Amino acid sequence: MKATIRYRFNAELHDDESLYERARGVVERLADVHLGFREWWTVPAKARQSPFALGDREDVLKLIEMQRQEFQRKYPGVPLSVSNGILLSNARSEKQWRANGSIAIAINPGPGEVRLDIGDLSAATDTPTELVWSSLRALTEDPRTVFAQTNVKQSVGKDRKLYSLNCGVFPHRDFLGWMGYVNQAVSESQVPDAARVERQGQGTLILATEKVDLFDARLIEKMNKVEISLAELGLLPITDAGISE
């Protein structure tokens, strides 16, 4: 099973050094969540490139500069905000990366989002709910956060499901998924079907179900009910530009 936490903030355009510091700040918030989140490496764009430890500041800055220049050559006239980011993994080699749970984090201030992918929850931890919940809490400590969601991808035999594609309620709204964050105070009585409701800064963390199984209709119904409650509160953003509240 794969879980992807995505949190959003207002778009930011960084120079190379401030992008590096932004990335350091994000992963430092994760350091106490899991032993596997304490060291991060750049993800090579080409087969012959070697990864750099994020702590190797000068090497990482050179990589950021090279990737920025390559983007500008390939896409002249396209705003740099489209690609202003960095991709990191928690292992130096692909073999170790898979053993660690296939974890990567994409930090993209240009479009205003950070995405943490835990590709194999069972390899990463014996307590998947706590790992993902603690990661969500750590990431959304960023006061710039405006919304966060957790998508889940699961396979059973030859059948595959992705929450956002196969299980969500609203085709025209964003989804919360397994768990997420909204930038408004929400009480347990306002989302009575949620498993956990916890204040975080100016907003609220919400866990829809203690465990997740996309092939269990009862759990999907519970997740859907949480999203319906949030939509009624006006807290699930509309994604279709042709529709208004």
For residue 244, what pLDDT band results from cuts at 50, 70 and 90? low
Going by DSSP bridges, is the β-strand pair 145-156/159-162 parallel, antiparallel, or unpaired?
antiparallel
- Mean pLDDT taken over the chain: 93
Q: What's the predicted TM-score (pTM) here?
A: 0.94
pLDDT of the residue at 72: 86
| 226 pLDDT higher than 80 | yes
For residue 113, what pLDDT band results from cuts at 50, 70 and 90? very high
- Percent over 90 (pLDDT), the chain: 77
Lowest mean pLDDT among 18-27, 36-45, 153-162: 36-45
Average pLDDT over residues 10-14: 90
For residue 212, what pLDDT band results from cuts at 50, 70 and 90? very high
Contact assessment for residue 100 and residue 107, using Cβ atoms and an 8 Å cutoff: no
pLDDT of the residue at 13: 86
Report which of residues 94 and 223 the model is more confident about.
223
| 243 pLDDT higher than 70 | no
- Percent over 70 (pLDDT), the chain: 96
Average pLDDT over residues 3-25: 94
Distances (CA, A) of 215 to 110, 123, 124: 36, 20, 22
| 85 pLDDT higher than 80 | yes
Contact assessment for residue 127 and residue 18, using Cβ atoms and an 8 Å cutoff: no
**Which is nearest to 117 in space by CA: 90, 144, 81?**
90
For residue 242, what pLDDT band results from cuts at 50, 70 and 90? low
pLDDT of the residue at 45: 75
| 51 pLDDT higher than 90 | yes
Contact assessment for residue 107 and residue 22, using Cβ atoms and an 8 Å cutoff: yes
pLDDT of the residue at 245: 58
